[in-house]
Every structure is written in structure tokens, then in C-alpha cells.
């Protein structure tokens, strides 16, 4: 027998043997006897991917804490699990189907979900195996998955509870929309990238032929959905526009000039185009002034019938066509180079479109107020302290969280609509009849929840 020691540490010879020994002998299991409890729930990594350096660091720190607490005699539970990663998983399975010439809509929702479960069973264990390779001392007998039956029941229960408390509601607001994934996204799911672009200065003639204001925009294709031009009430340059309307270029519509202190006189020309259906700030201005919202970019990223002769064009092709026509009519005053932040889908990197859409939301301000108070009165401390201002700024300006997703893989929203009287029923268990008209003709909302 060769007793020569290896020149270096050979992990594959040592780690597999001892990890199997630890696991087989139940050394990671949380004991049932009484004692001081210590528990960590592992922040569940997405089932679609593999661990990265951030995961490795995080897991190592948790492992150190758990092993130390075991040595101290504590009753330790390190709870493992993985996240179903709704959009990411659906994208992976859709790509696999597309490669085989299958569209998910051909399969239907139930068959598609069966495909996802099959994929998860075959390939979704990669992260768990990686965690074990790292030596993570989790209690693997308690491993959970966010689509497990018990967790799914908890999601439905919490949704109904928050709805009953008035914290969840359905509304028509501007949301982040991915034309590739065909779903709404939360603000945190949008990755902003600084890109080189242009600022296009466009002349809006006053009705009757008088020279009108010049507005500047980075997205000229959205002008087809403008419903006003806004200027500051104290801007003397535009006093002549009081009570006036302007012709909306490339359309047969005229739109009002409104006066609002939201406009910054010093920025650009001091005149803003207002497109309530395609910009969150414009949407708020539109609500105040009771402006109509005209959606000219559809969910598929193509121009709608409301865009007139540009209907059916891709939004970026439409931009080129609009600029060409504006130039031909002498309404494109100038073009400036302009770097600006552009939102992209965090999963497929498609440019996100701010779009008016009916979605489900969680009211964020009541929750933010408690989190703000916890730091202000010293119960919670931000380390390092310099980040306190960022924390306050984020929570003081927080917007309601869009929680509905137009995908099939995930927790389907526990809301039913009566086809006979349009009554909305929110319930943990599927209702068998309408609470208003007693009809049994009910349909469940097709959207899934963004469960984090």
C-alpha cells in the first residue's frame, strides 16, 4: 500500500466521504429535544440557475454561524429551500419548447405546467447539489420549494388577508412591461443601463397656424399618444398659450396646453409633452388634469390602432418613421446627443415599456412607514450609517408594488369573476358559486403572483 502523502490537498477524495458521513448520521438535523433554539432560513436561490460568488459567501457565513451554535449546544435548524423563479423558469422551459417547434399556447396552461414540473425534477436540483459541495450543513430532510403545497396554501391565505385589510387592490396604472416576456415587472426587476441616445426637439403648432411650443423627447414614437402639452404657470415665455390648444403633429387631433408646477422651467425648452399611457409621471399629471390616456404601444411592443397609419409597426421602427415624417413636415427642430437611463427586463434584457395596464398591487406606504420608524427611533441600525439617507429616500418615495404577472408558472391569483354578473370573489378555496347571483359560471384570474 502506497502511504505517500499527496503534495496538496485533494478535496474530491476527502469532502465527499465526510459529507456523506455527516448527512447519513443526521448531524445536520435539528434535534427535537428542548434547548435554546437557533434558526436560519436560507434565502432561496432560483431553481433555474447555479450558485455564484455572492451565494457562496452568503452560504459560508450562514454555515459558520450554524456550526458555531451547534458547538454551543443550541438546537439549530438551518432551513434549506429553492425558489420557483416564475419568469426565469418559464423562459427556460419556453426556450426548450421553442427549440422543438412547440409554442406554450399550443399546450395550454395545465400541460405547460406539467412540462415545468418535469424540468424541475430533472434539472432543478443543481443548486442543492452545489450547496452540498460547499459543505452546507442544512437540515435536508426539511428542504422546501416555494411551489410546495403548504407554501402555496400560505400564499393564498396571505393574499386574501391583505385584500380584506385593503392592502391589496386592482387598478389601472403605469407599470413596467416586458414585450418579450409579455408580463408586468416590479420596479426592482428592471435593470437600468446608461445608453447613448438622442433628444428630439419637436414643434407643436398652435391651432390656427400660430407658432407653438417646442418639446423635447427621447421617445418620439410616444407622441402619437400625447393628450396635452404642459408648461409652468409662472413661465412668462408661454403666457400667450393660456386657453390655447396645439395641433398634435402627424395626427388629426388637437390637444390642450395645461399649466402645472410639475414642469421645470429651466429644463430643456420648459415645455413637456404629456403621454399618460406611457410615462409614470405623465400619468400622475394626467390624473390631476383629467386627461384621457391613449395607449399607442401594445403589449407586444407594436403600435396599436390608436397610432393611426403607424399601426402594426414595431415601436423602434415607428420611431424612425415618425422622425422621417416630422422632418418632411418641417416639425423636427433639432436633434441632440443625449445619454439617458433605459430600463431593461432583468431576465431577457429587452427594453422595458412603461405601459398603462390593469394589475394587482400591494400598498407599500403603510409598510414603509413602519420600516422608517424602526430606523428613526433606533430599533434598527443601518451599517454603515452613511446609507441611512438612501434608505429614507427609497422608503419615503416608494411606489405600490405590482404583484401580478402574466405567466403560467407560479401561484395563480386566488380571485374568481362571475361571468354572469361580474362579481369578484377573493377566496383561499375555489368557490362553487357566485356570492352575488348564485351562478356557477366562474373563471379564475389567469395571472400569477410575484411571490418573493
Per-residue model confidence (pLDDT) at position 34 = 67
**Candidates 3.40.50.620, 1.10.560.10, 3.30.565.10, 3.40.50.720; correct CATH number of 16-147?**
3.40.50.620
CB 408 within 8 A of CB 448: yes
Query: What distance in Å separates the CA atoms of residue 123 and residue 121, rounded to the nearest whole number?
Result: 6
The burial of 35, by beta-carbon neighbours within 10 Å (0-12 exposed, 13-18 middle, 19 or more buried), is given as exposed
Q: Where in the chain is the domain with CATH 2.170.220.10?
A: 162-188+357-449
Residues 304-318: pLDDT tens digits? 999 999 999 999 999
Alpha helix stretches (DSSP H) within 236-314:
280-288
Q: What angle do CA 94, 95, 98 make, to 5 degrees?
A: 85
3-state secondary structure of 53: helix
What are the CA-CA distances from residue 109 to residues 12, 115, 251, 444 (Å)? Answer: 43, 10, 41, 13
Q: Which of 77, 64, 97, 98 is nearest to 31 (CA)?
A: 77
Per-residue model confidence (pLDDT) at position 254 = 97
Query: What distance in Å separates the CA atoms of residue 130 and residue 122, rounded to the nearest whole number?
Result: 15
Residues 175-208: pLDDT tens digits? 999 999 999 998 888 999 999 999 999 999 999 8
Question: What does R_g of the chain's alpha carbons equal in angstroms?
Answer: 28
Q: Which of 314, 255, 262 is nearest to 283 (CA)?
A: 262
Give long-range contacts, CB 8 A cutoff, 24+ apart: 276-282.
Answer: 276/225, 276/227, 276/356, 277/174, 277/225, 277/355, 277/356, 278/174, 278/219, 278/222, 278/225, 278/353, 278/354, 278/355, 278/356, 279/174, 279/222, 279/354, 280/174, 280/354, 280/399
Per-residue model confidence (pLDDT) at position 47 = 81
Q: Enter the C-alpha cell of residue 386.
A: 452613511
CB 170 within 8 A of CB 359: yes
- Give me the residues of the chain with pLDDT under 50, please: 1
Per-residue model confidence (pLDDT) at position 380 = 94
Q: Where in the chain is the domain with CATH 3.90.740.10?
A: 190-353
What CATH number belongs to 190-353? 3.90.740.10
Q: What angle do CA 76, 80, 84 make, to 5 degrees?
A: 155
Residue carrying C-alpha cell 407554501: 151
Q: Which of 447, 452, 403 is nearest to 83 (CA)?
A: 452
Query: What distance in Å separates the CA atoms of residue 43 and residue 316, rounded to the nearest whole number?
Result: 39
Q: Enter the C-alpha cell of residue 429.
A: 378555496
The burial of 82, by beta-carbon neighbours within 10 Å (0-12 exposed, 13-18 middle, 19 or more buried), is given as buried
pTM for this entry: 0.84
Q: Which residues contact 432 (CB under 8 A, 6 or more apart)?
A: 440
Per-residue model confidence (pLDDT) at position 28 = 93
CATH 2.170.220.10, applies to 162-188+357-449: yes
Alpha helix stretches (DSSP H) within 197-314:
280-288
Amino acid at each position: 500500500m502506497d502511504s505517500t502523502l499527496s503534495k496538496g490537498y485533494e478535496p474530491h477524495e476527502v469532502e465527499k466521504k465526510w459529507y456523506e458521513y455527516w448527512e447519513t448520521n443526521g448531524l445536520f438535523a435539528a434535534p427535537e429535544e428542548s434547548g435554546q433554539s437557533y434558526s436560519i432560513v436560507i434565502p432561496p436561490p432560483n431553481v433555474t440557475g447555479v450558485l455564484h460568488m455572492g451565494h457562496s459567501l452568503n452560504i459560508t457565513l450562514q454555515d459558520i454561524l450554524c456550526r458555531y451554535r451547534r458547538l454551543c449546544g443550541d438546537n439549530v435548524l438551518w432551513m434549506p429551500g429553492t425558489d420557483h423563479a416564475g419568469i426565469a423558469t418559464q423562459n427556460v422551459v419556453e426556450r426548450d419548447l421553442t427549440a422543438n417547434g412547440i409554442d406554450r399556447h399550443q399546450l395550454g396552461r395545465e400541460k405547460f405546467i406539467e412540462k415545468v414540473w418535469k424540468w424541475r425534477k430533472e434539472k432543478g436540483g443543481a443548486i442543492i447539489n452545489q450547496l452540498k459541495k460547499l459543505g452546507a450543513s442544512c437540515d435536508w430532510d426539511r428542504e422546501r420549494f416555494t411551489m410546495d403545497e403548504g407554501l402555496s396554501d400560505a400564499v393564498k391565505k396571505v393574499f386574501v388577508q391583505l385584500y380584506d385589510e385593503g392592502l391589496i387592490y386592482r387598478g389601472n396604472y403605469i407599470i413596467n412591461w416586458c414585450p418579450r416576456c409579455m408580463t408586468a415587472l416590479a420596479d426592482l426587476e428592471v435593470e437600468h443601463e446608461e445608453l447613448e441616445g438622442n433628444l428630439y426637439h419637436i414643434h407643436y403648432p398652435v391651432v390656427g397656424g400660430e407658432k407653438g411650443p417646442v418639446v423635447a423627447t427621447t421617445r418620439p414614437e410616444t407622441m402619437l399618444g400625447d393628450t396635452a402639452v404642459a408648461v409652468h404657470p409662472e413661465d412668462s415665455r408661454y403666457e400667450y398659450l393660456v386657453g390655447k390648444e396645439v395641433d398634435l403633429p402627424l395626427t388629426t387631433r388637437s390637444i390642450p396646453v395645461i399649466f402645472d408646477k410639475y414642469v421645470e422651467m429651466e429644463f430643456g425648452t420648459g415645455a413637456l409633452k404629456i403621454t399618460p399611457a406611457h410615462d409614470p409621471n405623465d400619468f400622475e399629471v394626467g390624473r390631476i388634469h383629467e386627461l384621457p390616456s391613449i395607449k399607442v404601444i401594445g403589449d407586444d411592443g407594436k403600435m396599436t390602432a390608436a397610432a393611426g397609419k403607424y399601426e402594426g409597426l414595431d415601436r423602434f421602427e415607428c420611431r424612425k418613421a415618425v422622425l422621417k415624417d416630422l422632418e418632411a413636415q418641417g416639425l423636427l427642430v433639432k436633434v441632440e446627443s443625449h445619454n439617458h437611463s433605459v430600463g431593461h427586463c432583468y431576465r431577457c434584457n429587452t427594453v422595458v415599456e412603461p405601459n398603462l395596464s390593469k394589475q394587482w398591487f400591494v400598498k407599500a406606504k403603510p409598510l414603509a412607514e413602519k420600516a422608517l420608524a424602526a430606523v428613526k427611533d433606533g430599533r434598527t441600525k443601518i451599517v454603515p450609517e452613511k446609507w441611512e439617507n438612501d434608505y429614507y429616500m427609497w422608503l419615503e418615495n416608494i411606489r405600490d408594488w405590482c404583484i401580478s404577472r402574466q405567466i403560467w408558472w407560479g401561484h395563480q391569483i386566488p380571485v374568481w369573476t362571475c361571468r354572469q354578473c361580474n362579481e369578484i370573489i377573493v377566496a383561499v378555496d375555489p368557490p362553487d358559486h357566485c356570492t352575488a347571483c348564485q351562478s356557477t359560471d366562474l373563471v379564475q384570474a389567469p395571472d400569477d403572483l410575484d411571490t418573493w
